[in-house]
Amino acid sequence: MNGSELRAELERLHPESYGWALACCWRDAAEAESVLQTVYLRVLQGKARFDGRAKFKTWLFSVIRRTAADRRRRFLLRRLGLAKYEIYQPADKNVDRPDDVVYRSEVQILLLGALAQLPERQRQALQLVFYHDLSLEEAAGVMNVSIGSARTHYERGKKRLRQLMGESRIFDESGSGRKEAEGAIPRR
């Protein structure tokens, strides 16, 4: 793949790549942008090379996942080294980010909460298949696991997600279910 084809393919996949980077960075927009910039630089400079063994999208998503994991690991190591010198202050959780505005509907908020409760591999499998339209084989390639393992994470994730959504009782049309559900979802 030459440079112009590579650029065109990166541009075509940018919206989905950004969505996957957000998922890999726990919905931190600034971190996702930084990861994506690093990935694009690696790809365009030839440090990450597409060898054609998988689809380009599958390969790109795996590079994004590995880059995000590497940045998270480096951050944690730095944090551990500086922890004795610095007092940790959590970020203000009430600040609205542009990507949060998109996810405001009640069902989407509930779904994101349920997804966040899943183990990382199950969450990744579901996001790759449902949000990024990858097959289980392609998702396995991105996650760097066998197809059997990806299928197991996918099936267990769906089962647990169904269970979490059922526990919320948001879809219960009985009077008691509606009353309980009203307090479960924040209103703005």
pLDDT digits (tens, 9 = 90+) for 45-93: 888 988 888 899 999 999 999 999 889 888 876 766 554 444 444 555 5
Domain limits, the chain: 1-92, 103-188
Longest dimension (CA), the chain: 61
User: Are the CB atoms for 134 and 58 separated by under 8 Å?
Assistant: yes
Report pLDDT digits (tens) over 131-152: 888 999 999 999 999 999 999 9
Q: How confident is the model at residue 107 (pLDDT cuts 50, 70, 90)?
A: low
Q: Please check the confidence at residue 183 and state whether its pLDDT lies above 60.
A: no
Q: Please check the confidence at residue 179 and state whether its pLDDT lies above 70.
A: no
Structure tokens at 161: 């997600």
User: Are the CB atoms for 154 and 142 separated by under 8 Å?
Assistant: no
User: Are the CB atoms for 132 and 19 separated by under 8 Å?
Assistant: yes
Cα 68 to chain center, whole Å? 10
What's the mean pLDDT in 13-22? 94
Looking at residue 96, what is its pLDDT? Answer: 56
The CATH number of 1-92 is 1.10.1740.10
Burial (Cβ within 10 Å: 0-12, 13-18, ≥19) of residue 13: middle
Report the C-alpha gap between 149 and 152 in whole angstroms.
Answer: 5
User: Are the CB atoms for 38 and 49 separated by under 8 Å?
Assistant: no
21-30, 63-72, 87-96, 162-171: which has the minimum mean pLDDT?
A: 87-96
What's the CATH fold of domain 103-188? Arc Repressor Mutant, subunit A (1.10.10)
Looking at residue 72, what is its pLDDT? Answer: 86
Looking at residue 93, what is its pLDDT? Answer: 55
- Kindly report the pTM of this predicted structure: 0.56
Q: Output the CA–CA distances (angstroms, integers) from residue 84 to 35, 76, 170, in the order listed.
A: 27, 13, 44
What is the signed CA dihedral for 157, 162, 163, 166, rounded to 10 degrees?
A: 160
22-26, 73-77, 83-87, 160-164: which has the minimum mean pLDDT?
A: 83-87
User: Are the CB atoms for 142 and 150 separated by under 8 Å?
Assistant: no
What's the mean pLDDT in 95-107? 54
Cα 154 to chain center, whole Å? 14
Cα–Cα nearest to 171, from 130, 114, 126 = 114
What is the signed CA dihedral for 17, 22, 25, 30, rounded to 10 degrees?
A: 100
What's the mean pLDDT in 111-121? 88
